[in-house]
Structure 1
Amino acid sequence: MPEPMAARGRVTILDVAAAAGVSRQTVTRAMNDMAEIAPATRERVLQVARELRYRPSRFGRDLVSGRRRTIALVVHSLINPYYPELASAVVGAAARCGWNVVLADSRHASSPKQLLADLGEQADVVVGYLGAIPPDHRGDLLPLVVIDGDAGSGHAVVRFDAAAAMADLAGHLAGAGVRHPVMAVPGSGNARAREFAAAMARHQVPVRVLTYPEHGAGADGDPTRSGGEDLDGGISVAAALVREIQSGAAATDAVLGFNDLTACGLLKGFRRAGVAVPDQVRVAGIDGLSLGTVVSPELTTLALDLDEVAEHAVDLAIEIFDGRTGPGETEGTARQVSHRLLVRESA
């Protein structure tokens, strides 16, 4: 078998055909799981492709054409302004490297497996919030970069670290005299709640957790028109807390939202009830969205630098595509972005 092509330039379909002793058409059939090819031949071609770190060229793009490559960005919901802000940052980072971006909203996919299959026809690398990755996914053929992922997932990840910022927020709230904090989370949002509770515990202040439905609905009952279930979730948590405060059932002097959208819902709910923020209840969020600067009072938040997130994600994607990180080497390949506390008017 010829030497790996990484040292001699990008591997082409002709390299794979020569190494496997087959025609270019046979390589195309094997890579696309087409008929008219013997199973043993298909497996031999795929094995050679893996060893040479070859990845097929989507849309029939030729390496010598100079055309731009494509990243597929997967987000959870374009209703949440976090994802459009992230998408803008990824598009900018990719454009600076000569790459295109296609966007997919995972809410509209029939399954994670089908989503990846569809994106495999459109992109060279998939980046984003990928949820349940099919266990049989062939990362050597369609590489993945998971945003806000687990470094032990077996895929390249961009990790978020909120520990230092959460500790700063806990110190800020404790220093301001907060003794009855609450965290508002969706049903699956307990990891952030545990981080907040641990940070406040270092100040001997317990945290109470209130949950809201992950899939809220708008006034007409349609969840796709709710304006974001986290906004509605924040409003509902604020209403519950107001009822507790008015009845004397429980005291609350600060609330941390699961994200900035939840926190904006909290601000809206408290304003409706005539509860002054921050005089009666302090409110903070997580994400650092520009939305937090146009609400009143302006939102205190644990902010992410989304440009930094995008730069890391795109850099990892290109690194994998170029063969600098090969098959089986992406596990443990991680970049980390830390939150930072931005103290504004709400807390």
Structure 2
Amino acid sequence: MAEPGQLTERGDPAEGSPRRRATILDVAAAAGVSRQTVTRAINDMPGISAETKRRVLDAASALSYRPSRFGRGLVTGGDRQLGLVVSDLRNPYSPELAAAMVRRAAVDGWSVSLVDIGLAGAADRMLHSLHAQVDVVVGYLGAWGPEWGLRFGTTPLILLDAGDESPHPGVLLDPAAAIDDLAAHLAAVGTRRPVVLDASEPHAASGRGLEMIAALERRGLAPELVHAAASTPEHASAVAAQIIRRSARPDAILAFNDLMAFGVLSACRHAGLDVPGDIRVAGVDGLSIGTLVAPTLTTLAVDLDEVARHTLELAVALSDGDAGVDAHRVVSHRLVLRESA
């Protein structure tokens, strides 16, 4: 495990002395407004015009100003605060990600606050509250990303798996090489009728689903793309139950994630099929529970500790106003072959 990060004042290399951290009064002077107006702009409060808010946020950004959590009424014993946003705590991926973040945050001297915007009935309110309490926000914001990327103002936002086109700092999870390894393995063991079970709308495909299709086609196979309405075991089991009843049954199913792969395994068990004798099954994520099911699940695993390491490195740099940090990181998946394939 890495040694705890030392959170120190960054120095001015030209003068060899610590750089004074900008204050709310510095921002007010630069923007030509009152201290109270800066407070309203930074905390997304009503009572000021959009132009004034923009001027204040521009001044705060230019000065690398970060509002004091203590000024917001927080008492945290000195730890900096990371706000982690997940989309569904019922998916084991979310608590496994949170556990990795908490482990790494403890090493670096941060505390973690968690919100689930997928299950919450008031996601907008929860994000506003989280923004007011933390130094950096990180996680899966989905459709909320563009709007809240603006509303967070000077609070840094780190997006997880948002894609190369995202303007925000982030950590991209890249399964491409592992998907290619899985396709090569399936071709080598004689797969002829693979199915990609995607979590997408009909007549569409996710980026991950398209990568699976392309990798199988490069191996001379003709995969079928099948859609499930949601990335849950229940939806996957229902769809898999239909396709494994065909006269020309698939001999491999690549699921969008591990949860869907568990649903496929359930459908195969109820149909009396042997896995992997009659059909091979694989998922994506590398959930710990995949080692406890029978057969154990072949998966494309992502190292969540590595994701957490990159995230906290970004959080520290952005919180300190380090403009030279590499703001876009990539963590690749790896093929983990187990009994199901």
Same fold, judged at TM 0.5 (above): yes
Q: Which residue type is aligned with residue 241 of structure 1?
A: I
Q: Which residue type is aligned with residue 164 of structure 1?
A: A
Aligned CA distance change for structure 1 residues 23 and 202 (closer, same or farther; 3 Å): closer
Question: How far apart are residue 203 of structure 1 and its match?
Answer: 1.2
Among 105, 127, 132, the residue aligned to 2:116: 105
Among 164, 184, 193, the residue aligned to 1:171: 184
Q: Which residue type is aligned with residue 338 of structure 1?
A: S
Aligned CA distance change for structure 1 residues 53 and 204 (closer, same or farther; 3 Å): same
Q: Which residue type is aligned with residue 243 of structure 1?
A: R
Aligned CA distance change for structure 1 residues 30 and 170 (closer, same or farther; 3 Å): closer
Q: Is the 8 A contact 1:112 1:134 kept in 2?
A: no
Equivalence for 2:7? none
How high is the sequence identity, in percent, across the aligned residues?
50
Measure the CA separation in 2 of the matches of 1:285 and 1:41: 50
Q: Is the 8 A contact 1:158 1:336 kept in 2?
A: yes
Measure the CA separation in 2 of the matches of 1:33 and 1:287: 36
Measure the CA separation in 1 of the matches of 2:162 and 2:34: 40
Secondary structure in 2 aligned to 1:160? Answer: strand
Among 70, 92, 97, the residue aligned to 1:81: 92
Aligned CA distance change for structure 1 residues 253 and 66 (closer, same or farther; 3 Å): same
1:6-26 Cα shifts (integer Å, max 9, x gaps): 740432324334555666445
Secondary structure in 2 aligned to 1:107? Answer: coil
1:148-202 Cα shifts (integer Å, max 9, x gaps): 1122211012111111111110110000000100011222552212111111111
Equivalence for 1:236? 238
Equivalence for 2:64? 53
Measure the CA separation in 2 of the matches of 1:239 and 1:212: 12
Q: Which residue type is aligned with residue 39 of structure 2?
A: T
Measure the CA separation in 2 of the matches of 1:241 and 1:55: 54
Question: How far apart are residue 241 of structure 1 and its match?
Answer: 2.1
Aligned CA distance change for structure 1 residues 32 and 171 (closer, same or farther; 3 Å): closer
Measure the CA separation in 1 of the matches of 2:129 and 2:274: 49
Query: Which aligned pairs between 1:163-202 and structure 2 lie closer than 5 A?
Result: 163-187=176-200, 190-202=206-218
Q: Which runs of 5+ in 1 are unaligned?
A: 215-228
Equivalence for 2:225? 209
Aligned CA distance change for structure 1 residues 281 and 113 (closer, same or farther; 3 Å): same
Measure the CA separation in 1 of the matches of 2:195 and 2:70: 51
Q: Is the 8 A contact 2:27 2:56 kept in 1?
A: yes
Aligned CA distance change for structure 1 residues 93 and 323 (closer, same or farther; 3 Å): same
Q: Which residue type is aligned with residue 272 of structure 1?
A: H
Q: Which runs of 5+ in 2 are unaligned?
A: 1-9, 13-18
Q: Which residue type is aligned with residue 213 of structure 1?
A: A
Larger RCO (alpha carbons 8 Å, 6+ apart): 1
Question: How far apart are residue 126 of structure 1 and its match?
Answer: 1.0
Q: Which residue type is aligned with residue 317 of structure 2?
A: E
Question: How far apart are residue 38 of structure 1 and its match?
Answer: 8.6
Measure the CA separation in 2 of the matches of 1:138 and 1:38: 14
Measure the CA separation in 2 of the matches of 1:199 and 1:39: 48
Residue-pair matches, total: 320
Q: Is the 8 A contact 2:44 2:151 kept in 1?
A: no
Measure the CA separation in 2 of the matches of 1:22 and 1:157: 33
Aligned CA distance change for structure 1 residues 279 and 157 (closer, same or farther; 3 Å): same
1:264-316 Cα shifts (integer Å, max 9, x gaps): 11111111111000000000110111011000111111110010011111211
Equivalence for 2:340? 346
RMSD: 2.8
TM-score, normalised by the number of residues in structure 2: 0.84
Q: Which residue type is aligned with residue 264 of structure 2?
A: L
Q: Is the 8 A contact 2:171 2:311 kept in 1?
A: yes
Measure the CA separation in 1 of the matches of 2:250 and 2:195: 7
Aligned CA distance change for structure 1 residues 344 and 27 (closer, same or farther; 3 Å): same
Question: How far apart are residue 263 of structure 1 and its match?
Answer: 0.6
Aligned CA distance change for structure 1 residues 12 and 194 (closer, same or farther; 3 Å): same
Aligned CA distance change for structure 1 residues 78 and 42 (closer, same or farther; 3 Å): closer
Equivalence for 1:220? none
Equivalence for 1:309? 307
Secondary structure in 1 aligned to 2:232? Answer: helix
Query: Which aligned pairs between 1:184-333 and structure 2 lie closer than 5 A?
Result: 184-187=197-200, 190-214=206-230, 230-244=232-246, 248=247, 250-325=248-323, 333=327
Q: Is the 8 A contact 1:59 1:122 kept in 2?
A: no
Measure the CA separation in 2 of the matches of 1:196 and 1:90: 29
Q: Which residue type is aligned with residue 302 of structure 2?
A: L
Equivalence for 1:217? none
Measure the CA separation in 2 of the matches of 1:30 and 1:211: 44
Aligned CA distance change for structure 1 residues 291 and 202 (closer, same or farther; 3 Å): same
Measure the CA separation in 1 of the matches of 2:104 and 2:265: 33
